[in-house]
Amino acid sequence: MGDDQLDKVQEKTAAAAITHLVIMGVSGSGKTTLATILTDRLGWPYAEADEFHPQVNIDKMTSGEALTDQDRAPWLEAIRDWLSGQAREGRSAIVTCSALKGEYREVLRAAQGRVVFVHLHADEDVIASRLSGRTGHFMPPSLLPSQFATLKPLGDDEDGLTVVVDVPPDAVADTVTEFLQLERA
């Protein structure tokens, strides 16, 4: 086997040991809270998907306008590329991302390493109540119904789990680490 082939085999082997968590769900489902807990427990780098939005997307959402699939495409690709960059550095990572549709998750699944989705679920009235008390976020509560309308649950063929977030965040984190069979850092 030549050096180039050996390098590719080693790169694929290293990437196979990498696991990325995409904490998904509608706005207000607790993605940031869970990601913060898991980052503390696992010691993995973490990013908010909101950081990857181009300004035009932020402006649209701030004005109460829902994003289109075309708006989301470069955003999802940037998240995927960040995850792949973490894998190239030999790191598993955590990212929060609504990832509402299977097509969106497919883009993220193309990142190097294993990509596991953790769908945080609650009834719309529970989430609306959470959002009504939140300040300083560009996503207005008025867009919540459009997020629920767009949301497609994880398919049986998707690597991940759905967690109903009617328990304390630490209990949700326990469920995730048990699912992944991971120990605390």
Residue 77 lies in a domain: yes
Report how far apart, in Å, the C-alpha atoms of 123 and of each of 16, 26, 141, 163, 167 are. 35, 10, 14, 12, 13
pLDDT score of 50: 87
pLDDT score of 91: 97
Give 127's contacts (C-beta < 8 A, 6+ positions apart): 26, 27, 28, 29, 144
Largest CA distance in the chain: 60
Residue 185 lies in a domain: no
Q: At what angle do helices 31-42 and 169-180 cross, to 10 degrees?
A: 60
pLDDT score of 118: 98
Residue 135 lies in a domain: yes
Residue 3 lies in a domain: no
- With helix as H, strand as E and coil as C, how does 22-54 read? EEECCCCCCHHHHHHHHHHHHCCCEEEHHHHCC
Q: Which CATH number fits the domain that encloses residue 154? A: 3.40.50.300
61 within 8 A of 67, measured Cβ to Cβ: yes
Give the chain's residues under pLDDT 50.
6, 9-10, 12-13, 15, 183-185
Residue 159 lies in a domain: yes
Residue 87 lies in a domain: yes
Domain range for 64 is 15-180
pLDDT score of 6: 46
pLDDT score of 184: 47
Going by the DSSP 8-state scheme, the letter that residue 101 receives in this structure is: S
Residue 2 lies in a domain: no
Global pTM? Answer: 0.82
Neighbours of 157 (CB within 10 A): 6
Q: How many domains does the chain have?
A: 1
Residue 53 lies in a domain: yes
